[in-house]
Amino acid sequence: MALLVVPACLLVLALLIGPMILMFRISLNRFSPTQLMVQALSPDNYIKAATDPYYQQIIVATLGIALLCTLLTLILAFPAAYWLGRMESRWKSLVVIATLFPLLVGNVVRSAGWMALFARDGFVNTSLLKLGLVSAPLEIMYTTKAVIIGIIAVVLPYMILTLSAVIESIPRDLEYAAANLGASGARVFWRVILPLSGPGVAAGSILVFVLCMNTYATAVLLGGPRFKMMAPAVYDQFVRGNNWPMGAALAFMLLAVTMAFTVFGSIAFARRYRTE
């Protein structure tokens, strides 16, 4: 039976591990404006990325936006996930499909839609001006707010589906029992639903956090050229600056930061629910 796993392992090594090893080797080279890349075994690119205030600001901004988007997505997704998880209608499959439908549209297309909404002469500003709610168009495009809204719109279905699957497995009798014992709706949520849906919260938050850390199209299209996150910075080094060593180093730093917070979050959730 063990031999059946060998082809899959070889495929993973060839398509995933191999390119990552090659990129790590590239990250240790030096950049030359004339020769582009000079063979070396130097940590200079990592040191520069870790100590340069420019790259530090990008890393902190990426991490802050990812954490904020994860928290907001969790807050927004929980009511919808609870409603979906408790739904007993024959139309539930259609609601699940409707939740999945945004995932069938590429991030570039969705970001283009947000651009049409957020532009100075877009739908949002036009509507606000006609209603007399504002006297001048709002500056929404190319701001952090636009990026956060766009990212949340991308990752929200993942959180809803992950949470709803866990909530659906929680016996409804536990809610009825808590209510019969005098617990209010808010108390039932905090003492019954939220603790029991912890595995879904952990899985959904980790998944959404990883997606937020690695967002590219949304950051570029809604944030504009001055808005910097790690994924666009990696692209700029590879394509615009032709600095492959620095681009590879930034890519591995993005991977390291993402994995560190993912592992830390997983351990924190595991310890919490192991002690309860």
256 burial level (CB within 10 Å; 0-12, 13-18, 19+): exposed
Task: Give the residues across from 32 on adjacent strands.
Answer: 36
- Are the C-beta atoms of 26 and 40 separated by less than 8 Å? no
User: Position of tokens 């924190």?
Assistant: 268
Report the distance separating Cα 58 and Cα 121, nearest Å.
30
Give, in order, the Cα–Cα distances in Å from 190 to each of 71, 120, 178, 187, 267.
17, 42, 11, 5, 22
User: Position of tokens 């600095």?
Assistant: 243
Report the distance separating Cα 160 and Cα 96, nearest Å.
10
For residue 276, pLDDT over 70 is answered with no
Task: Give the residues across from 38 on adjacent strands.
Answer: 30
Beta strands (DSSP E) in 20-120 are 30-32, 36-38
**pLDDT tens, residue by residue, 244-270:** 999 999 999 999 999 898 888 888 777
| Residue 84 confidence (pLDDT) | 93
**pLDDT tens, residue by residue, 21-69:** 888 999 999 998 878 788 888 899 999 999 999 999 999 999 999 999 9
Tokens coding 262: 């993912």
- Are the C-beta atoms of 178 and 192 separated by less than 8 Å? yes
Mean pLDDT over the full length of the chain: 89
How many whole angstroms from its chain centre is CA 2? 35
Would you place residue 179 in the very low, low, confident or very high pLDDT band (cuts 50, 70, 90)?
Answer: confident
| Residue 13 confidence (pLDDT) | 78
| Residue 205 confidence (pLDDT) | 93
**pLDDT tens, residue by residue, 114-170:** 999 999 889 999 999 998 888 889 999 999 999 999 999 999 999 999 999 999 999
- Are the C-beta atoms of 227 and 187 separated by less than 8 Å? no
Q: Does domain 56-227 have CATH number 3.40.50.720?
A: no
Going from N- to C-terminal start, the domains of the chain cover 56-227
For residue 3, pLDDT over 80 is answered with no
Tokens coding 207: 């998944």
Nearest alpha-carbon partner for 225 in 147, 150, 158: 147
Q: Is 140 helix (H, G, I), strand (E, B) or coil?
A: coil
**pLDDT tens, residue by residue, 204-249:** 999 999 999 999 999 999 998 888 899 999 999 998 888 999 999 9
- Are the C-beta atoms of 161 and 99 separated by less than 8 Å? yes
Report the distance separating Cα 145 and Cα 143, nearest Å.
5
| Residue 275 confidence (pLDDT) | 53
